[in-house]
Structure 1
Amino acid sequence: MKKTLFFLGIISLWNSSMAQTNPAITSWLRNTTSITGRHYVSGNSTPIADATLANVQKVQYSAQYVYVSTNGIPSYVTGPFLDGNPNLAGTQNAIFKFPLTPTPNTGTSTPTTGGNIGVFINGVALFDYRDGVSYKSSTGLNAGGPSGGTGDGVWNRDAVLYEKTGFDCAKGHPAGTNYHHHQNPSAFNLDLKVISNICNLYLADGLYVINPAQHSPLLGFAYDGYPIYGAFGYKNVDGTGGITRIKSGFSLRNIATRTTYYTGIAVASGPTVSINFPLGMYKEDYQFTANAASDYLDIHNGRFCVTPEYPNGTYAYFCTVDSNYNSTYPYVVGPTFYGTKVASKLTSAVTETTTTYSPVLSTSNFDFDNLEFKIYPNPASDLIAIQSSEMIMNNLNAELIDERGRIVATKSFLQGSTICHFETDTLYNGIYFLKISNNTMVKTYKIFIQK
């Protein structure tokens, strides 16, 4: 009996150790600093602090599942939403349940749906391509979504294109109070070709910064339990070949009329391609073409490959962008899931026995030396922006120091952010030093103020 108990104890310890290394448990951005959400309102470029805790509040796991408690609020500033959306990002008080061992779907693929189809590591919701609007043949117009009514559901409008004026700097917006992203969650002003000027007045950042020299970070998990990565990954699925942009297998069809899907299935006619109904308005305007090149994705927008968190390989989705870093269809996950969709948003508390994930945090866990900071503009006149190469996992201190060694301004580089700003319009011309530090390490940069 004692031997049996001994071996059961060893197995229990082994299972606990294995769980502590599962990225589905360890990768969530847990709020360890009590940071709360912030938002902009139209016409005011000063963020307003909210009372709701940002990022993820708790991670629990059992032998089969991980449970993620979140308010659905990011630590980067949300809003404003300039398309007339009256809502603000609000608390979801949600618990999401994900499988620790996702499984491929060997039957008919499950389509993505409206609403949540995944969760980013900061607890923010992922939606698919749609905005709830579709063509209505009886009226010859689009219907549904914010405009009301119901379309036919045959030709479905692309939210990323047609809700762009309502996205904030981080490319997100709320449905009701459920703040979410449909696409690659990096800020508009960090794209090589900037297609929205929302960041000009309402400075904010996104979940990560695209770095073409590094494998993009793990950004979240889809509702089938498989991980979601940013726009860049290893060229070859075995982790070799260097870093490259991972590409969508979808492209626009060469059509003038809308009578069939790309698969050849005849459907109720949509509007003729025109200025009012341009190609790309609808999800069904795209076709999938399998590409044997390893840096192209399959019909679900994923591939089986080696990643930094999964050195033995995993199926993974990628946030697809073009060469200008502008988002490309199907954006993140879809239009179908690769795996068996088992994740869910719980309607009550966790009922099975779980362990709360509580990693031991120390300065040695924080890879400060590998953070690369870009400071711009330099020389500066009214504002200095500090952009980190990756998301800040623990608060950093930022100090602006003049030539006499006096601290003239201080800021906190907040957990879950990639950018920090200093207003310099009241400072005199001259040389300054920017010091970024945690408890044990410091980086210093020379700054010029010139007006």
Structure 2
Amino acid sequence: MQNPHLVSILSALTLIVACGGGGTNQSATSDGMTSATNEVSAENSGINDSSQTSVDTSANSPNAGTQDVECSYTYDVFNDSASVDMQSWARWSCDGTERTLTANGIPDHSVGTFPNSGNPNTISTQSVSAAFTLNPETTSTSTTMGGPRGVTGYILNGVKIDAGTAGTCSDDGTSCAMAPPMQGSWSIEALGQNSFNFGDDENHAHVQPTGAYHYHGIPEGFVTKLNKGVAMTHIGWAADGFPIYARYGYSDAMDASSEVITIKSSYQLKTTSDLNRADDSLYPMGTFTQDYEYIEGSGHLDACNGRMGTTPEFPQGIYHYFATDTFPFLQRCVNGAL
């Protein structure tokens, strides 16, 4: 629902780019996928029309190479969602020092209706080709990713992560745009706000003008297909080569026998709005990226939504990221070398 006090919104829906989701969610139009061919290796058997299961050997030392994990994740299924109705495939492989991904960028789970009132774009195939180091290393500084700064990472199904948006507002909030050109320095959030409708679906995803379906938050349909329940669930790889997990982790980061809990980010809404921000009666706190601040120790994760710890795939420990239910939802930066 659009903010009734908005004076001038330059929504330019036909130009929605690089990011966006928030506002009204679209319901799924189909229960999902019809399996066409099953090309999963013995290591990653089990992909069909209802689940994807992958099992690999594990790394044996902290921040060791990732060459023994998900190097043969391959699938090819037909997505019969009304807004897709086409093949979805992704192929991961490891060779030498690199993990490579080739995919067509089509999701392998049910999606919402596209185009819709908040997003005028149609899902189409993409030429996805990416490489990740098999020997990731943390650095002393983080690198902001997303949009023109580069893809933050990919979910195992070959769909990219792009958590931020290109939407902006002026200081007084009278001029806002959900797409370039910029109207000001206040960055509109995709999720967690109701002032702007980016047409995202139940997977916290929507479509760019290029036809690229992409995630702003936890890829719920993909997580459901993995069918691991309340457990640490590996869902993808970040640009720096470190793994990404969804929602759940160990209460003691280095103890796999500790309780599995919902992992919380360490970002909180600011108690007061910044100077020069539009009045929060016009746009409630949480509308803009700048409304959040990182408070070390307030959650389980660092500023890039990651931490060092043990995982099912890396029992001796590795730095890894989390997709969380609250801001930043998916990491906006990486702590590893690029």
The two structures share one fold, judged by TM-score above 0.5: yes
Q: Which residue of 1 aligns with 2:176?
A: 142
Pairing 1:228–2:244 present: yes
User: C-alpha displacement at 1:87, in angstroms?
Assistant: 1.8
The amino acid of 1:270's aligned partner reads: R
Is contact 2:190-2:198 (8 Å) kept? Answer: no
The amino acid of 1:310's aligned partner reads: F
Q: How does 1:14-93 map to 2 (within 5 A)?
A: 22-23=68-69, 25-26=71-72, 28=73, 30-31=74-75, 34-41=76-83, 49-50=85-86, 53-56=87-90, 58-81=91-114, 82-93=116-127
Is contact 2:100-2:129 (8 Å) kept? Answer: yes
Q: Which residue of 2 aligns with 1:124?
A: 159
Pairing 1:272–2:279 present: yes
SS state at 1:23 partner? coil
CA distance, structure 2, for counterparts of residue 244 and residue 35 of structure 1:
32
SS state at 1:207 partner? helix
CA distance, structure 2, for counterparts of residue 307 and residue 138 of structure 1:
46
Is contact 1:237-1:305 (8 Å) kept? Answer: yes
Q: Which residue of 2 aligns with 1:282?
A: 288
Q: How does 1:101-250 map to 2 (within 5 A)?
A: 101-106=135-140, 108-114=141-147, 116-128=151-163, 130-137=164-171, 140-145=174-179, 148-152=180-184, 154-161=185-192, 166-176=199-209, 177-186=211-220, 205-208=221-224, 214-238=230-254, 239-250=256-267
CA distance, structure 2, for counterparts of residue 211 and residue 141 of structure 1:
44
Is contact 1:38-1:75 (8 Å) kept? Answer: no
The amino acid of 2:77's aligned partner reads: I
User: C-alpha displacement at 1:60, in angstroms?
Assistant: 3.3
Show structure 2 runs of 5+ residues with no match. Answer: 1-63
SS state at 1:160 partner? coil
CA distance, structure 2, for counterparts of residue 99 and residue 123 of structure 1:
17
Paired residues, what number?
A: 268
CA distance, structure 1, for counterparts of residue 306 and residue 246 of structure 2:
11
Is contact 2:171-2:186 (8 Å) kept? Answer: no
Let me know the Cα RMSD of the aligned residues. Answer: 2.6
Q: Which has the higher contact order (CA 8 A, sep 6+)?
A: 2
Richer in helix (by share) = 1
Q: Taking structure 1 as reference, are residues 165 and 157 closer, same or farther at Cα in structure 2, changes over 3 Å only?
A: closer
Is contact 1:211-1:232 (8 Å) kept? Answer: no
SS state at 2:165 partner? strand
Deviations, residues 15-54 of structure 1 (Å, cap 9, x unaligned): xxx989522524x3x12xx42233325xxxxxx632xx31
User: C-alpha displacement at 1:211, in angstroms?
Assistant: 8.1
The amino acid of 1:55's aligned partner reads: W
CA distance, structure 2, for counterparts of residue 223 and residue 21 of structure 1:
15
Deviations, residues 74-128 of structure 1 (Å, cap 9, x unaligned): 221233133342222211122111111111122x321123263110011111112
Q: Which residue of 2 aligns with 1:410?
A: none
Deviations, residues 340-385 of structure 1 (Å, cap 9, x unaligned): 2x3xxxxxxxxxxxxxxxxxxxxxxxxxxxxxxxxxxxxxxxxxxx
The amino acid of 1:71's aligned partner reads: N
Give the counterpart of 1:299 among 294, 298, 303: 303
Is contact 2:248-2:262 (8 Å) kept? Answer: yes
Larger radius of gyration: 1
User: C-alpha displacement at 1:164, in angstroms?
Assistant: 5.6
Identity among equivalent pairs (%): 26
Show structure 1 runs of 5+ residues with no match. Answer: 1-17, 42-47, 187-204, 260-268, 322-327, 343-451
Q: Taking structure 1 as reference, are residues 206 and 60 closer, same or farther at Cα in structure 2, changes over 3 Å only?
A: closer
User: C-alpha displacement at 1:138, in angstroms?
Assistant: 7.8
Q: Taking structure 1 as reference, are residues 253 and 75 closer, same or farther at Cα in structure 2, changes over 3 Å only?
A: same
Structure 1: which 4+ aligned runs deviate by more than 4 Å? 18-21, 162-165, 209-213
The amino acid of 1:272's aligned partner reads: D
Q: How does 1:1-20 map to 2 (within 5 A)?
A: none
TM-score by length of 2: 0.72
SS state at 1:338 partner? strand
User: C-alpha displacement at 1:157, in angstroms?
Assistant: 0.9
The amino acid of 2:130's aligned partner reads: F
Q: How does 1:434-445 map to 2 (within 5 A)?
A: none
